[in-house]
Amino acid sequence: MANLDGQLLFGLLVSLVIAAIVAWWLAGRYRKAMLRLMSTPTPPRDTAVATSMTTVVGASAAPARFEAAINRRQNRRLAAVLAGISIVLGLSTSAFELLAVHTDPGFGLNRWLILGAVYTWPVVPALGLLWRWSVGRTIGGVAAYLLCLIPVILLGSNAAQTLTMVTGWLASTVALPMISLLGLAASGRIRAVAPLLFPAAVVLVGASLVGLAWAASMVDTPPPTLLALLDAIGAMPTILVFIAAPWAVGIWPVIGVLRALATAYRQKRFSELAYLFGLFWLVVLIAMALPSIHSVGLAAFGIVLVWLWVPVGFALARGWLAPPPAPPTLLVLRVFRRDAAVEALFDAVTERWRATGNTVLIAGTDLVSRTLDADDLFVFLSRRLRERFILQPEDIPRRLAEFDLTPDHDGRYRINECYCGDATWQGALRALVAGSHAVLMDLRDFRAENGGCRFELGELSRAAHLRQIVILFNEHTDRRTAEADLGDASGRVHWVDMSRRHRHTDRAVLAALLTPAARPDESGPTQFRGRR
């Protein structure tokens, strides 16, 4: 018990490092697998199949609701729920600390509220997860929150509490959770993978720690088997055996954890935002329990039960967060090989659009960190990624039928991608255009030689049913070629200059998407028959 807190802290940090390293490696393997399957040659397209792609969409849909007010309301409600759950968690954590750990001088309303305000600090990075804040902005937000609390803490404390002591205590409170959050979610390459691997890493590292503890218990009176092993391979390899051997047992819970996460995500028991929010708060609570082990023993981990407010809070808010019916579908098109710029666009615009409706796109390696989810990861680890790809034209109806078009319990819609080969993406694009209400096309750095984008512009020129077409451009965009490819449809396009991107232009893009042109007289878009 004397060094249990140190062992657990070490285990968490090692699990964090392992999850980040493996996530980095898996992200690279996933990208390579996607590129390989995208380049897979296919037989010549069957004309009958290719011309009937619109059979995957149903009858004319009810008018979709494009309202900026609804989008703002839904995003604000979700932010309020995250803040509300965090406040309840902070107050509950404060009550546990005062009643079970720091019992002297007793429970007091002022102490409870001040301590509750301190322990509510995770609300800042939680909102950062929702709004896709940068690392610097997240750290700055947490620092600003804690700085505002320092005067309150000093006024409510006795004279023995100094500014240095309070600052050091606050820093120690946030250090481990912030390291964990930044280690798992700061890098765009691992953000989608590392949080999913972290529980599995904890299981394996825990198994290794148990193995080392077992080896340590035999040091004083080593059995003959251990002595023989030492003589045969030496001390260091023997230690490695005790580290790795427990994985033969621990690997099965790991597989079970990954399978359970994938299944629960597929069944909409949680969203990716709820998962990150819940995982972060779990690390916060464990970090708070570690220093208390010396005073109250394993009872300190009773604080982890406070985490149950996360699923309870989302369950209670589910009806309030439910979006209105008739969500529009947004098709995202872009010039490939502009990873950083497209990721920034996704963070600023598409993430907020998800409170309004569905998002569909042709998958590419540029957005892996934004679209990869628990189900995709398990499919890849199971070596079934090929099943997700449209390698034959006749696969298009099947893939579109698998689209998940219902909202999560947090009120946001998921992103659905078509994984296509070189010979099938055009047919998939036609089907996506036919089932969409609006299009966001990123043509920054577009040139006449970008044949794929020109094909997409040609399809948009024939899609009279689209309620809105928003195209982003910069000083390097060959706008003349783009307008020529659009033909008469060019007059219906909302062009947004992104030469100098800032928050104002991001808001302008979202506003343009949510303020569609008048609906044409045609029958309107059809809708995907996805899973509902």
- Give the whole-angstrom CA distance, residue 433 versus residue 195: 33
Q: Is 451 exposed, middle or buried (0-12, 13-18, 19+ CB in 10 A)?
A: exposed
Of residues 486, 494, 442, 443, the one with CA closest to residue 464: 486
pLDDT (0 to 100) of residue 226? 84
Angle CA(358)–CA(405)–CA(337) in degrees, nearest 5?
50
Domain boundaries in the chain?
4-22+75-320, 325-528
Which residue shows structure tokens 């077992």? 214
CA distance 471 to 171: 45
What pLDDT is stored for residue 51 in this prediction?
A: 36
Q: What's residue 42's pLDDT?
A: 58
- pLDDT tens per residue across all 532 residues of the chain: 557 788 888 999 999 999 999 999 998 899 888 888 887 765 554 443 433 334 334 333 456 788 899 999 999 999 999 999 999 999 999 999 999 888 777 778 888 999 999 999 999 999 999 988 888 999 999 999 999 999 988 887 766 778 888 999 999 999 999 999 888 887 777 888 899 999 989 989 999 998 988 888 888 888 888 888 888 898 888 888 899 989 888 888 888 888 888 899 989 999 999 999 999 999 999 999 998 888 888 889 999 999 999 999 999 999 999 999 989 999 999 887 666 777 788 888 888 999 999 999 998 877 777 788 888 888 888 888 888 889 888 889 988 999 999 999 999 999 999 998 888 899 999 999 999 999 999 999 899 999 999 999 999 999 999 989 999 999 999 999 999 999 989 888 999 998 887 767 888 899 999 986 554 444 455 566 666 5
DSSP letter, residue 531: B
**What's the confidence (pLDDT) of residue 348?**
83
Token reading at 297: 């023993």
* Exposure of 116 in the CB half-sphere (CA atoms within 13 A): 18
Q: Which pLDDT value is given to residue 159?
A: 63
Question: Quick check: 288 and 295 in contact, CB under 8 A?
Answer: no
Q: Classify burial at 109, counting beta carbons within 10 Å of its beta carbon; exposed 0-12, middle 13-18, buried 19 or more.
A: exposed
* CA nearest to 513, candidates 342, 328, 334, 325: 328
Distance in angstroms between the alpha carbons of the first and the last residue of the chain: 51
Helix, coil or strand: residue 51: coil
Residue listed under structure tokens 């044949």 = 451
Q: How far apart are CA 357 and CA 354, in angstroms?
A: 5
Closest CA to 368 of 26, 27, 2: 27
Give residue 59's pLDDT: 33
Tokens linked to 445: 């750095």
Q: What is the pLDDT of residue 57?
A: 41
**Which residues, at least 6 apart from 319, have a Cβ–Cβ distance to it below 8 Å?**
none
Separation CA 132–CA 115 (nearest Å): 28
Q: Find out whether 205 and 304 touch, Cβ atoms under 8 Å.
A: no
Burial of 163 (0-12, 13-18, 19+ CB in 10 A): exposed
- Residue 276: the pLDDT is 93
* HSE (side-chain half, CA atoms, 13 Å) at 101: 20
Using DSSP's 3-state secondary structure scheme, residue 269 falls into coil
Q: Order of strands, edge to edge, in the sheet holding 358-362?
A: 389-390, 415-420, 358-362, 329-334, 438-442, 468-473, 493-497
Rounded CA-CA distance 476/478 in Å is: 6
Position 52 scores a pLDDT of: 37
Q: What is the pTM of this model?
A: 0.88
Q: Specify the DSSP element, H or E, that contains 12.
A: helix 4-38
Of 247, 244, 261, the closest CA to residue 198 belongs to 261
Query: Could you give the CA distance from residue 97 to residue 292 in angstroms, rounded to a whole number?
Result: 9
- Tell me 446's DSSP state: -
**Choices 3.40.50, 1.10.10, 1.20.1070, 3.60.21: CATH for 325-528:** 3.40.50
pLDDT at 337: 62
